[in-house]
Structure 1
Amino acid sequence: MRKKVSLFYPFLGFLIFTVGSILIAPIIFGILNPEARLNWWWKFSLLGFFLALLYSAKFLIPVEKLPINNLTKPPQSRLEFLKQIAVGKQILLVSVLILPALVILTLFSNIPLIQTIICFPGMIIVALTVCTWNTAVNLSPTLRQRGWKFILKAILILSLFLVLYIFTEMAIPGPLWGTVVEKLIFLILFSAILFLLTVKESYRGVRLDWAGENHSSS
């Protein structure tokens, strides 16, 4: 007989984030300065986004229930690794939690809807990154002990990307800079680089631990 899937935690999470966005929206709406209002919208949106990630990891799809725990051998590719840690399902659950709340927060705070459209693709890629890293750290003792080395490496690479981006913007002036399209491209490229780095390091760490090896021996 098939087990019934409980909808309690998904519904509770959806309710919490929706009601939270309705309560916070008037606070943002009351800020008269448009720039300050947008700044606070970003802060509350990012806070809600990361709370949704934590809620999903804790109550909707905890690490101990992931398919990778039932494998008898390590994943043979990065794609299989992402499939076995159910990244797609995690992102779907986070989106269900945060997207309605984000739209409500935008509309009720008198923020242009285009801001939500701009930030959401970047947020999804960040969600992919955080879900992958959080899961890998819970699966891999090596990453728990030496993850800080990867974080430093990621900061260095992303800093170089940022410098290159600023240099390109200064060296090649044009109508693109400062537009919605430019912000969208920047967010997607920046978060995509971070995601690819995270997948590479996470997959490597999990395979080494599975094989009983250590990063220092690689």
Structure 2
Amino acid sequence: MPGWQTLQDELADHDFQVIAVAIDEAVDTIRNYIDNDTDGISYPVLIDADHLVSELYAISNVPTVLLIDEDDMIVQPNWNAYATNTFKDFHGIDADAQLDAIRRWVRDGATMLPVDDVAGAVADLTDEEERGKLHFRLATHLRNAGDDDGAERNFALACELAPHDWTIRRASMPLRGGDPFGAEFFELVKEYTDAGRPNHGVNHPGTT
């Protein structure tokens, strides 16, 4: 988040606005992080506890970036982009090249895809993936209602239906009592890598 704040500050005079969407339900945790961040996060951070954004835009990985112009048109669809190289050794993505691509768009209007290619650049969710996202939503509602058994059944089914969807697999880990940075996470990473890093998105500068 501080990396995106740096870009926000740099491009503010060009009518550039970062808007973050946390696919999470831990509102207080996120608010405390933002309030206590020494770099000062000034851009809006929205909470999408029901994962409506990930369903609407067919997002299956985080962080995913979309670029939307002043006419509310998507000019850069789902893109696994980073604002810093902190974890470059882990994910192999060069944030500097990605940020430069955003700068070229903001300052010069240079898009990464031809306008006519944007609409069909990201594949729709499969039937199984759509069902996985719905079962995830059902699981969170059952969990919040105190039905732990029902929640676990639906979390398990969601992960089975969409095994490479990080907004389901990783997001469910803390909700099921797991560690999102523990052994289960690294198992997900291995499965994801072995499967060829499937992703509903496009690859651009800095992505390997």
Q: Whose Rg is larger?
A: 1
TM-score (norm 2): 0.25
Which structure has the highest helix share of the two?
A: 1
Of structures 1 and 2, the one with the larger relative CO (CA 8 A, separation 6+) is 1
